[in-house]
Structure 1
């Protein structure tokens, strides 16, 4: 079951969902629109190694925007910080973003119960396109969970993305080896 706008507002009031900053105008019929934050990152090395900690270079998107190129993977971040209890958040790109040839996630569109952070975006483009900090980039959809969650994400010892930050977070795959 996907939460409606009315139910999302109720769960925000009940502190089961937190979106900061929250703007009522961003509430859709059954989703909440999120925006591109001011930071992007690119990997330093051309060849990435799944067993190694691949470092990134961070840069702020200038006011005049930044052109993304098809040959690069960009890590972006949502402006919004979110916390979710009792629901599974899914992040999808807005249709207007898709029509510009922008993909905002490669495989990581699902959050977990207990996730507390800004969302890192794995951004790729089909052709060069200019993006701007603060532009609408995606939407969060909330799904109801059946049954109790034994250990929420923020309490898991193995959770690799619990460090709070308003910058994109690089892959932590190397921690699995």
Structure 2
């Protein structure tokens, strides 16, 4: 079941949900509004090889923000460290942000129990849009779980800001055997 805004508040006060820095004005009926951090990453390679660490360019936005351009994939982060060892979470864009043609998460919205860090946002835009550090860009919903929680122990533990893909850390597949059977 999804937690209501008052339930999220109670769980924060009880220490069962962590949101740094928590602000009750950003509580919504079933979620918590989070802000865009100042760091934006983008890949600076023409071709990204999943087996090698991708090269990125980091931009730190100032008060004037940054214009995001269509056709480029950006990685942003949340200002807040958020998560819970007792609840799973899902991340969504704010309606006001999505109706500007900004997508902030389209492939990895699930936060496993125990995942406590600033979230990395997958950002693309339909038209040039200026964004600003500290703007409320999305919302996080929390869900109660059935069964014994298993804490997240994946390759993004310890993240402190937006993080590029770490897929290259996964084991490489065995080389294909090119011998013909029966020859």
Give the TM-score, by structure 2 length: 0.90
Aligned-partner SS, 2:111: coil
Partner of residue 26, structure 1 = 26
Aligned-partner SS, 2:157: coil
Partner of residue 170, structure 1 = 164
Partner of residue 152, structure 1 = 151
RMSD after superposition: 1.0
- The gaps in structure 2 that reach 5 residues or longer are 173-183
User: Between Structure 1 and Structure 2, whose CA radius of gyration is higher?
Assistant: 2
Q: Deviations over 1:75-102 (max 9, x none)?
A: 0000111131211110000000110000
Q: Deviations over 1:58-79 (max 9, x none)?
A: 1111211111011100100001
Partner of residue 128, structure 1 = 128
Segment drifting more, 120-129 vs 49-58? 49-58
Partner of residue 88, structure 1 = 88
- The gaps in structure 1 that reach 5 residues or longer are none
Aligned-partner SS, 1:49: coil
Q: Tell me which stretches of 4 or more aligned residues in structure 1 moved more than 6 Å.
A: none
How many residue pairs match? The answer is 171
Give the TM-score, by structure 1 length: 0.93
